[in-house]
Structure 1
Amino acid sequence: MPTIESLFVTRLYHAALSEFKPKIDADELEQSCYVIAEDDEAGQEWCEANEYPGYTSYASLTDLAWRFPIFKSLVKALDKHVAAFAKDLEFNLDERKLVLEDLWINILPEGGTHGSHIHPHSVISGTTYVAMPKGASALKLEDPRHAMMMAAPPRNKDARRELKSFIYMKPEVGDVLLWESWLRHEVPMNGSEFDRISVSFNYRWE
């Protein structure tokens, strides 16, 4: 009788932000994102120069937790989620810690996309979702083995979830998704007439 097992598992963490304190007021967080976007001239200029749809603070504001108390509280909650994920991954951190490297706002309008990418030099990356109107795009995650598949045939459409080439995660407001930073991902086109708002982040091993 043959034995078949799954090897080299790719883990994805999915939880409600509210599972760990402090509690974050969703309306206040959304309003803060818009206020920052309006005031961040450097970020607006970067988005225009790089043809980024909507707004991101990725290249302009690296100290959101210092500037705004709600982001300081957000980081405290995210630290606990990341610690829980690292425990599940069975990382040997050698008495060192995973610490926040950067955290940024994404406001994606109707028709906006964010192309496929990874997060080099980080250990864990993730996103918490601030506004996900009906029709807003899911997060698309790619099988990291694609580059090695060469002549492999495509998967059946009804293939088991763990064998699919792409996974689409449709988070809700207040959700947190975490993954290892080498996992390629993208945000397909936002099909909603309203903004899709998220806060993304990276953690490094310090």
Structure 2
Amino acid sequence: MTLRPLFVTHLYEGSLAADKGFEAFNAQLEDACRAIAAEDRAGRAWAREKGYSGYTSYASLDDLPQRDSLFAELKKKLDRHAAAFAKDLNLELAGGRLVMDSLWINILKPGGAHSGHIHPHSVLSGTVYVATPPGASALKLEDPRLPLMMAAPTRQADAPEDRQTFVYVQPRLGTVLMWESWLRHEVPANAAKQERISISFNYAWR
């Protein structure tokens, strides 16, 4: 018998932690995220309106790399990871390129969560983790075929990761996770006693 893996969903996992000066860079990033959150009234108001427990700059700030050189440096680092992932995916860009078109801060309070969603106008999406206290939420990824499994039984609890319906990835400080933007994902309730801080981003084809 031969089993052939078809239409495989790739998750890219990298890290900034091995970069020279990472600890100082990450500490500065965390301070910058908190300072921006304290000043961004529109972002805090949007989070309250949408029921987001914490802060996000998703709908309020679209110029973080221009606003602060730390985020510009982060963009350069993430551009390298995105290029490596695109190469692995064998994307035919037809003379175009992938461009980061959004970058935003997420500060999730204890008990806070982010419900399942996709990023429909992008090619690649991802997150880099700035603060991951003990108990901080994993990233939950959903099998994209799930809506089509109308009569399928559930998977066995000990099934290999590539056959699970949901996969939970526990990030560490500096972890970079990327996936194709059609992949549904969510953040379960934050069980940490402290805030979980991440910076998310999208790449579009231009």
When normalised by structure 2's length, the TM-score is 0.96
1:127-149 per-residue CA deviation (whole Å, 9 max, x = no partner) reads 00000000111000000000111
How many Å separate the matches in 2 of 1:133 and 1:18?
Answer: 16
What is the aligned residue count?
205
Structure 1 match to 2:79? 79
Q: Is the contact between residue 108 and residue 195 of structure 1 (CA under 8 Å) also seen in structure 2?
A: yes
Q: Is the contact between residue 22 and residue 73 of structure 1 (CA under 8 Å) also seen in structure 2?
A: no
Structure 1 match to 2:128? 128
Q: Is the contact between residue 21 and residue 77 of structure 1 (CA under 8 Å) also seen in structure 2?
A: no
List runs of 5+ in structure 1 lacking aligned partners. Answer: none
Q: Is the contact between residue 110 and residue 195 of structure 1 (CA under 8 Å) also seen in structure 2?
A: yes
Structure 1 match to 2:35? 35
Instruction: Give matches, 1:164-203, under 5 Å.
Output: 164-203=164-203
How many Å separate the matches in 2 of 1:162 and 1:149?
Answer: 16
Q: 1:22 Cα deviation (Å)?
A: 9.0
Q: 1:46 Cα deviation (Å)?
A: 1.0
CA RMSD in angstroms comes to 1.3
Structure 2 match to 1:17? 16
Q: 1:18 Cα deviation (Å)?
A: 4.8
Q: Is the contact between residue 17 and residue 173 of structure 2 (CA under 8 Å) also seen in structure 1?
A: no
Q: Is the contact between residue 115 and residue 187 of structure 1 (CA under 8 Å) also seen in structure 2?
A: yes
Q: 1:17 Cα deviation (Å)?
A: 2.1
Q: One-letter code of the match for 2:10?
A: R
Please list every run of at least 4 consecutive aligned residues from structure 1 whose deviation after the TM superposition is greater than 4 angstroms: 18-24
Q: 1:45 Cα deviation (Å)?
A: 1.2
How many Å separate the matches in 2 of 1:49 and 1:188?
Answer: 20
Confirm whether residue 3 of structure 1 aligns to residue 2 of structure 2. Answer: yes
Q: Is the contact between residue 110 and residue 195 of structure 2 (CA under 8 Å) also seen in structure 1?
A: yes
Q: One-letter code of the match for 1:3?
A: T
List runs of 5+ in structure 2 lacking aligned partners. Answer: none
Structure 2 match to 1:52? 52
Q: 1:190 Cα deviation (Å)?
A: 0.3
How many Å separate the matches in 1 of 2:21 and 2:118?
Answer: 29
- Determine helix, strand or coil for the equivalent of 1:25: helix
How many Å separate the matches in 2 of 1:53 and 1:67?
Answer: 25
